[in-house]
Amino acid sequence: MLIRTLDNGFTHLNHSEITPQAHYLGRRELLKGLATGTAGLALSGWAGREALAQTARPGVLAPLPGSVSAVVGANVMDKPTAYKDASSYNNFYEFGTDKSDPAKYAHTLKTQPWTVEIEGLVKKPGRYGLEDLMKLSAMEERVYRLRCVEGWSMVIPWVGYSLADLIKRVEPQPGAKYVEFITQADEKTMPGVRGGALDWPYVEGLRLDEALHPLTLLAFGMYGEVLPKQNGAPVRLVVPWKYGFKSGKSIVKIRFTDKQPRSSWEKAAPQEYGFYSNVNPTVDHPRWSQASERRIGEDGLLAKKRKTQMFNGYEAQVGQLYAGMDLKKFF
């Protein structure tokens, strides 16, 4: 049997096992000294996720530590966005279109049990239980910039591992050129899915070489804890050089294909949202400029905006992926 999905019950955590969010910044230095084999500890923290979500105050979720990543460019020096801002100002249309809707309504999301199906042009297709998926590689902490197409940005310490670790495990076939990500779309637990904002389920995609880039992260946590539901629990993608909507949340299926996937936003507004969606200050959105941005929690509405960096500041790491391409045409 290639992949085993676990369906056994979970044990509840004692409050002594829960790391308060207030202790996070001091704990980061401790995490730098941890060995890379931290997945087992992460699993013990995950066990009580659903129970904790019902009673814990914001920012007190099951701990999910990770060693500091050695991937070049994985840890920016920017000051991290406050947890309260990163977990309360979100785009997650499955729970509503207002920035505050995900934090209000995502408690309805059921993250246990959870599986991710791998299919398409791979030699080893299968279905991963969440615990199996978390065990595939050592957890790392990576401090990434996140740039939204609407003109705001954050800096978030994510916890996960390079998506390439999973891709290499399932062995793409020679014809595989793209990776498609399909997310959860449950009308019962996701009130926004009952509306017509997008054609559900939410679909995104990457070229295979983009997906294999070491900066492309399969994330299970942030700020040293498991992901809050409003941030894409229990597993999401983070592609730091692209606009935030490329990083699908609450992933349930990963499909390898020889054809370029048509993403949800391409379907909804192809003149505004292209397949690549790289952060590019020289290519304006049809309704606003992308040349500057506002850092959430740090820059007030009247404060001077930051200058947007090409590829969100990751040009040295990813620019070669697009050598010779017209990035105004392939936006």
Percent of the chain whose pLDDT exceeds 70: 81
The C-alpha atoms of residue 275 and residue 178 are separated, in whole angstroms, by: 11
CB 141 within 8 A of CB 25: no
| Alpha-carbon dihedral 236, 104, 143, 204, rounded to 10 degrees | 30
pLDDT the model gives residue 302: 73
Buried b / exposed e across 236-257, counting CB within 10 Å, b at 16+? Answer: bbbbbbbbbbbbbbbbbbbbbb
φ and ψ at residue 34, rounded to 5 degrees: -70, 150
Q: How far is CA 290 from CA 58, 81, 284, in A?
A: 32, 21, 5
**Which single residue is written with the structure tokens 């199906």?**
117
DSSP string, 217-272: EEEEEETTEEPPGGGTTT-EEE-TTB-GGGS-SSEEEEEEESS----HHHHH-TTT
**In angstroms, how far is the first alpha carbon of the chain from the final one?**
42
Taking the mean position of all CA atoms in its chain, how far away is CA 292? 23
pLDDT the model gives residue 299: 63
The residue among 313, 275, 5 whose CA lies nearest residue 133 is: 5
Residue 24 confidence class, pLDDT cut points 50, 70, 90 = very low
Write out pLDDT tens, residues 91-134: 999 999 999 999 999 999 999 999 999 999 999 999 999 999 99
The C-alpha atoms of residue 153 and residue 78 are separated, in whole angstroms, by: 11
The C-alpha atoms of residue 219 and residue 74 are separated, in whole angstroms, by: 13
DSSP strand pairing (292-295 vs 152-162): parallel
CB 5 within 8 A of CB 115: yes
Give the domain ranges of the chain: 71-322
pLDDT at 303 over 90: no
Full-model pTM: 0.84
Write out pLDDT tens, residues 38-82: 343 333 333 333 333 332 334 579 999 999 999 999 999 999 999
Mean pLDDT score, 211-233: 97
Answer left, alpha or beta for residue 290, where phi above 0 means left and psi between -120 and 50 means alpha.
alpha
Mean pLDDT score, 219-245: 97
Q: Is 158 helix (H, G, I), strand (E, B) or coil?
A: strand
Question: Burial of 60 by CB count in 10 Å (0-12 exposed, 13-18 middle, 19+ buried)?
Answer: middle
For domain 71-322, the CATH architecture is Alpha-Beta Complex (3.90)
The C-alpha atoms of residue 282 and residue 264 are separated, in whole angstroms, by: 24
Write out pLDDT tens, residues 237-283: 999 999 999 999 999 999 999 999 999 999 999 999 999 999 999 99
Residue type, 282: T
Q: Pick the residue with more confidence: 252 or 302?
A: 252
Percent of the chain whose pLDDT exceeds 90: 78
